[in-house]
Structure 1
Amino acid sequence: MQRIVKPKNQRTKRALEHRAPKLIEKTKTAMFVRGGRTSERVTQVLKELYMLKKPHAVMFKRKNILRPFDDQTSLEFFSNMNDASLFLFGSHSKKRPNNLVFGRTFDHQILDMIELGIDSFQSLRQFKNLKITEGTKPCLLFCGELFENDEEHRRLKSLLIDFFRGENVSNIRLAGLEHVICFTAIANKILMRGYRTVLKKSGCKTPRVELEEIGPSLNLIFRRTKLASDDLFKRASKQPKALKAKKKKNIDVDVFGTKHGRIHMQKQEISSLQTRKMKGLKRSGVNTVDDSNKKAKTDEGE
């Protein structure tokens, strides 16, 4: 059973309210953890991916002897302590050189883990051009049929979207889309490239968009996976009822995109409607003829 913690002071109360479930959750925080043995390449990759994820990221300074696929308790403890639902673990060994493990948690329990190996790497410093500002929301592109046809690649796509998506925003301006991260699935490899958008004159209102590579550039090899069951993943992806859009009744959209509405009205008594009093709108007909006959008879009687 889950232990219920009662706040003893206002500071603890605020901390518990900050971690409590909300209808609209805050941006997910990611942990960057180094293993007991890491190579220079793994350390540099962790630092540069940490720069892309800032300010929603926590970088561990000390090395931690962990084996995520064998024992997950340490990662779950770190997730609970730092209130982080994403993690990237880097290690290096003879059996699995230059190793990266992308993962996420649900209720501070491991949900998905995917292990990738670094085949080649080009740092941000190797591209001599302008860089993007820190905290820029990136535009994510996924190329390759494997992201749609293969279950492991579909789950990897969902994990990468969670990892790099940034803050949730309602509107975004065209000039704000200055960072593009592209993932390409080819056979057993995942190619990651970083670009900066350059807006140039096109002779019309819409500018001409060009992509300039700024890094980092990574070629990753697909290794091991540990994915959640379909039931657990469905429960983790469930949205509260308050956020679901309510269905609008009596509104249809035709094939041309025109919206049509249906209105239900009660029967209207047209004869009892109040109209403007005008001579041309006076009642005429049988009642008027009867009144004139009665008036003529009265005149004859007199």
Structure 2
Amino acid sequence: MSIQRVVKPSTRKGKRVLEAREPATLEGPKQTLLFYGRKSSDVIRHGLKDLYSLKKPDAKLLSRKNDITLFENANPIEELCRKHEASLFIAGSHSKKRPNNLIIGRMYNYNLLDMVELGLDSFKSLSEFVGPKITVGTKPCLIFNGPAWDQVEDLKHLKSIFVDLFHRENVENIRLQGLEHALCFTAISDNKILLRSYKVLLKKSGCKTPRVELKEMGPSVDLMFRRSKLASEDLMKQACKKPRILKVRKRKNVSRDGLGTLHGRIHVGKQNIPSLQTRKMKGLKKTAEEKRAEKKQSKRPLTVQNDTNKPVASKKRRVE
């Protein structure tokens, strides 16, 4: 059994660096490392550059080639991701057996979690599309078309990888003008996926809601699913475990309906209905005449009437 060495910082800067590497309750955008394999083609070079443009500034593209065979030995990529502090990686390579090959993978605690190998069947670069591009750091809207994303196990896992790859900061609300970029993933069959990138244009419609148009801005890629190396159920469960702070605790007598409206149930004791203070409405207030009449009624002396038919008992003085 190997004992892990505990690194203690000797300077303030080293302490800040180690604190930044510690697990965070709310994670920010994940860093992605893009690099080339033993050999690469023009399609792979342009494809990695376009993916780097979509992922900036949370990405790093290495210019040198790396002699790494991921499915045979994953130790070099683990060391590379540890060096650049990246939790996602995209490797591009080209060979006779697997032309225009793209491998997308994830790391957990700087150890390989899972990866998927895709082939670029057809590719159209960003530079081939004429028109304005998106600004750097824009949060894209991800659209998954086709029932295969929820029916095929490999595509379910690939969908999770795509969401992690293009996910940025966690936001609760977003304004309409903030939707500038849309990424569309269409599953034609079990092993073919179409990736299209659109710029969202808001046009005048004559009313409050604008007319939305999508203009393709690239890249346009047809992907072929080749092979995958998935994580075990225990490792995936450990990687997806949420901190106790983020777990939503169930509140008694509080529930939400399908539209998100909050409903609460209140338990009260027995109430005295006549003595309850209700809302005072202007129409139910007494007029000045009614108030004066009640005041006169309260000041009037009380009169006692005796029944004359009944004999009145005479009081006799006692003589001692």
Aligned counterpart, 1:215: 218
Question: In 2 relative to 1, CA 301–105 (structure 1 residues): closer, same or farther, beyond 3 Å?
Answer: farther
Could you tell me the percent identity over the aligned residues? 53
Does residue 262 (structure 1) correspond to residue 265 (structure 2)? The answer is yes
User: Map of 1:123-138 to 2, 5 A cutoff?
Assistant: 123-138=125-140
Give the counterpart of 1:52 among 42, 51, 54.
Answer: 54
Q: Which amino acid aligns with 2:132?
A: L
In 2, the alpha carbon distance for the partners of 1:142 and 1:209 equals 19
Aligned counterpart, 2:24: 22
Between stretches 140-149 and 252-261, larger displacement belongs to 252-261
Aligned counterpart, 2:310: none
Question: In 2 relative to 1, CA 172–257 (structure 1 residues): closer, same or farther, beyond 3 Å?
Answer: closer
Q: Which amino acid aligns with 1:63?
A: K
Q: What's the secondary structure of 1:210's corresponding residue?
A: strand
Give the counterpart of 2:119 among 102, 117, 120.
Answer: 117
Question: In 2 relative to 1, CA 301–248 (structure 1 residues): closer, same or farther, beyond 3 Å?
Answer: farther
Question: In 2 relative to 1, CA 36–129 (structure 1 residues): closer, same or farther, beyond 3 Å?
Answer: same
Question: In 2 relative to 1, CA 125–259 (structure 1 residues): closer, same or farther, beyond 3 Å?
Answer: closer
Equivalent pairs counted in the alignment come to 279
Question: In 2 relative to 1, CA 255–242 (structure 1 residues): closer, same or farther, beyond 3 Å?
Answer: closer
Question: In 2 relative to 1, CA 15–270 (structure 1 residues): closer, same or farther, beyond 3 Å?
Answer: same
Q: Which amino acid aligns with 2:119?
A: G
User: Map of 1:116-265 to 2, 5 A cutoff?
Assistant: 116-187=118-189, 188-253=191-256, 259-265=262-268
- Structure 1 residue 125, shift from structure 2 partner: 1.1
- Structure 1 residue 10, shift from structure 2 partner: 0.9
Question: In 2 relative to 1, CA 136–256 (structure 1 residues): closer, same or farther, beyond 3 Å?
Answer: closer
Contact map agreement 1:53 1:166 (CA 8 A) in 2: no
Q: What's the secondary structure of 1:125's corresponding residue?
A: helix
Contact map agreement 2:116 2:158 (CA 8 A) in 1: yes
- Structure 1 residue 111, shift from structure 2 partner: 0.7
Unaligned runs of 5+ in 2: 277-293, 295-314
Q: Which amino acid aligns with 2:149?
A: F
- Structure 1 residue 230, shift from structure 2 partner: 1.5
Q: Which amino acid aligns with 1:182?
A: C
- Structure 1 residue 2, shift from structure 2 partner: 2.9
- Structure 1 residue 70, shift from structure 2 partner: 0.4
- Structure 1 residue 227, shift from structure 2 partner: 0.4
Q: Which amino acid aligns with 1:39?
A: S
Contact map agreement 2:121 2:222 (CA 8 A) in 1: yes
Q: What's the secondary structure of 1:196's corresponding residue?
A: strand
- Structure 1 residue 167, shift from structure 2 partner: 2.1
Question: In 2 relative to 1, CA 248–91 (structure 1 residues): closer, same or farther, beyond 3 Å?
Answer: same
Q: What's the secondary structure of 2:7's corresponding residue?
A: coil
TM-score by length of 1: 0.86
Give the counterpart of 1:2 among 1, 4, 7.
Answer: 4
In 2, the alpha carbon distance for the partners of 1:198 and 1:256 equals 29
| Larger-gyration structure (1/2) | 2
- Structure 1 residue 251, shift from structure 2 partner: 2.1
- Structure 1 residue 257, shift from structure 2 partner: 7.1
Q: Which amino acid aligns with 1:191?
A: L
Q: What's the secondary structure of 1:51's corresponding residue?
A: helix
Q: Deviations over 1:138-168 (max 9, x none)?
A: 0000111111001110000000010012222
Contact map agreement 2:28 2:168 (CA 8 A) in 1: no
In 2, the alpha carbon distance for the partners of 1:149 and 1:37 equals 35
Unaligned runs of 5+ in 1: 274-279, 281-299
Question: In 2 relative to 1, CA 263–216 (structure 1 residues): closer, same or farther, beyond 3 Å?
Answer: same
In 1, the alpha carbon distance for the partners of 2:260 and 2:202 equals 32
